[in-house]
Structure 1
Amino acid sequence: MEHAPLIGTVNFHVSLPSPAVSPLASALAGALLREKGRTSPEEPKLTPPAIGEHWPGQGGIYGGLRLYPEGMCHVIFAAHDVGKHAFGDCGTEVEGTNQVDGRANTALLIAREGQHPAAIAAAGYTADGHNDFYLPASGELHHGYLYLPQAFEKAWYVSSSQFSANFAYGMGFGVGWLDGYLKDFERLVRPVRRFLQ
């Protein structure tokens, strides 16, 4: 029985001295650092406060860590509600059905050009220079109920997660229920943001 010949390996080093590579690498590194809540490699990793406490410079109340498609993220809930708003588009199936990622839902809802008041209100919120807030998914509101219920009114909050053509998920902080409600009903809106750990 014949054996395949062994293939020799060679160690080599590639150097890219081109000055054109440097700005691209610098821009990519800067984007990664900003996503992780830092602006330079020398800046220490952010140390969060206790869950439920205000995080200075981060736009609100620290909600702890959650797993998202991009990895483990710090979750920041706005310190205040931004009024009562309807989910909108009652009677229409929309693509915003994700129960984990409110940022993805909010982007889909806002793309429907003014038909989703709650998503528009949440995405328009800014605090501490951060303008990356969005309408939380049902799972994110449930996370808020589990870990920092004292930061919310004992009332119903609208999520960015559609339940059906006529209903959206809402979280009742007074009773601890996650349930569907008519999309035309106005509920409290609490913006949220996140960034990589």
Structure 2
Amino acid sequence: MNQASQQVIAASDLPALGQPLLGGVFAARYWLNGQERALILLSDEFQGIWGEYGVEIAGANSYSDGYANTVAMAEAGSVIAKKVLALDLHIPSCLEGQLLMAAKAEGLVTLRHDRFHWLSTQYSAYYAYGMGFETGWLVNYGEDGERLVRPVRSLIIQ
């Protein structure tokens, strides 16, 4: 893990949900690996393929840990994962995607809904999960198709 995955913030320093935080919008509080975390949605947006069709990536199948998935993707050669990690961000997991959809439904964040977005969770050697933020559809697509990525940051809350 790099430094980004271990950044912390005091609970007393958190703004209200939907407010600016570290270059993005504070979208949700959630638990991951026994730690309470703050999910921040950034405005950066990338387009690209998830990975190589037919290749299963060990460590990229977590439904909850988008950072671990993104690191595994980058180590396997994913260009889009490398771009996101270079900014100290990661591609949301299935759980983080659902949290973003809930934040959108509450009017806390704005997400494009005219295109499907990649999530970092791999479904199989041939498919990875994506999400349509118009209605919250969780789907899987061939990993070699181009989709959008809207990166996030996750901070440990102390």
Contact 2:48 2:146 in 1 (8 A): yes
Runs of 4+ in 1 over 3 A off after TM superposition: none
Matched-pair identity in %: 28
Paired with 1:121 and 1:89, the residues of 2 have a C-alpha distance of 16
Alignment of 1:14-25 (within 5 A): none
Counterpart in the other structure of 2:38: 74
> Which of 177, 188, 191 is the matching residue for 2:137?
177
Q: Which amino acid aligns with 2:20?
A: H
Deviation at 1:182, TM superposition (A): 1.0
Deviation at 1:64, TM superposition (A): 1.8
For the pair shown, the structure with the greater C-alpha radius of gyration is 1
Alignment of 1:21-170 (within 5 A): 35-37=7-9, 45-55=11-21, 58-78=22-42, 80-95=43-58, 96-112=60-76, 114=77, 116-125=78-87, 131=88, 133-148=89-104, 150-154=109-113, 155-170=115-130
Q: TM-score, normalised by structure 1?
A: 0.69
Contact 1:36 1:195 in 2 (8 A): yes
Contact 1:81 1:188 in 2 (8 A): no
Paired with 2:80 and 2:110, the residues of 1 have a C-alpha distance of 19
SS in 1 for 2:81: helix
Contact 1:49 1:62 in 2 (8 A): yes
For structure 1, list consecutive stretches of 5 or more residues without a partner in the other structure: 1-30, 39-44, 126-130
Paired with 1:77 and 1:61, the residues of 2 have a C-alpha distance of 5
Contact 1:82 1:122 in 2 (8 A): no
SS in 2 for 1:180: strand
Higher relative contact order (CA 8 A, sep 6+): 2
SS in 2 for 1:161: strand
Deviations 1:13-51 (A, max 9, x none): xxxxxxxxxxxxxxxxxx9xx84326xxxxxx5432232
Count the aligned residue pairs.
148
For structure 2, list consecutive stretches of 5 or more residues without a partner in the other structure: none
Deviation at 1:70, TM superposition (A): 4.5
Contact 2:28 2:100 in 1 (8 A): no
